[in-house]
Amino acid sequence: MQIIGFIKNSFIDFPTLISSVIFTPGCVLDCWYCHNREIIHQREGIYQEESILEFLDERKEFLDGVVISGGEPTMQEDLPTFIKKVRVLGLKVKLDTSGTNYEMLKSLIDDNLLDYIAMDIKASFDTYRKITSITDEQMKSVKKSIKLIKNSGLPYEFRTTFAPNLTVDNITTLLTECAPIKNYSLQAYKRPSNIIESKLKEHKLSDYKKIKDFALKNKLVESFNIKNMDF
């Protein structure tokens, strides 16, 4: 499997667990605020799969799991094979995905290869194109993936980056479209290094709280988290 980034130890990427984080290259989307932009258009990895597995084997007594992120990991055809190798080591697996490859995601779930799923939902369905370069077929996959994850029985999290060109109404519409949601995170936008100057203003804390209050009051979510916000 192509691997382009590796974090040996993380205490925040896999809820309640100590994990290593693997990043795969390539993505079918092109979100303008992406902080991993340098890898989304690449296809070749820089780490050898064998060396990563050797490290995990050596550290398996100190690690609980592995997070596979990107880019979009489900673009990797040999992702299931790699996950099986990780599972042999006794480590749990969390997948970060955009939900754009429904068939791969369903296969991973059906084969009991995942322990946790985090899916990015970019915007309300009618405004996805404002954030990404998504196609109609990919949008269909996103909608199917949302339902699949919710019905999978696995612990999961849906999350959205509150980009400056999204509104409070857009996020509340998103939550209404996807409800009910067990765990939802609204992540603060951080200006990527490739954007030197921008006229777009970041949202205020009051906007985040307004959305959270709306979601909880209307029972759209069970758990609502605000992440990466500088209080």
Q: Is the pLDDT of residue 197 over 60?
A: no
First vs last C-alpha separation in the chain: 39
In the predicted model, what is the mean pLDDT of the chain?
92
Contacting residues for 176 by C-beta, under 8 A, at least 6 apart: 218, 220
Instruction: Say what the pLDDT of residue 41 is.
Output: 75
Ordered DSSP codes for 105-164 = HHHHHHTT--SEEEEE--S-GGGHHHH----HHHHHHHHHHHHHHHTS-S-EEEEEEE-T
Instruction: Say what the pLDDT of residue 231 is.
Output: 47
Domain residues of the chain, as ranges?
5-164
Query: Tens digits of per-residue pLDDT, 27-52?
Result: 999 888 887 777 777 777 789 999 99
The answer to whether the CB of 13 falls within 8 A of the CB of 67 is: yes
CA distance 8 to 80: 21
Instruction: Say what the pLDDT of residue 11 is.
Output: 96
Local structure of 186: helix, strand or coil = strand
CA distance 21 to 72: 14
Nearest alpha-carbon partner for 160 in 168, 149, 148, 150: 168
Query: Tens digits of per-residue pLDDT, 7-19?
Result: 999 999 999 999 9
Query: Tens digits of per-residue pLDDT, 169-185?
Result: 999 999 999 999 999 99
Q: How many residues does the chain have?
A: 231
Instruction: Say what the pLDDT of residue 103 is.
Output: 98
% of the chain beyond a pLDDT of 90: 79
Q: What are the Cα distances from residue 88, in Å, to 52, 56, 94, 179?
A: 14, 11, 15, 35
Instruction: Say what the pLDDT of residue 67 is.
Output: 98
Instruction: Say what the pLDDT of residue 189 is.
Output: 84
Average pLDDT of span 46-59: 96
Return the CATH architecture of domain 5-164.
Alpha-Beta Barrel (3.20)
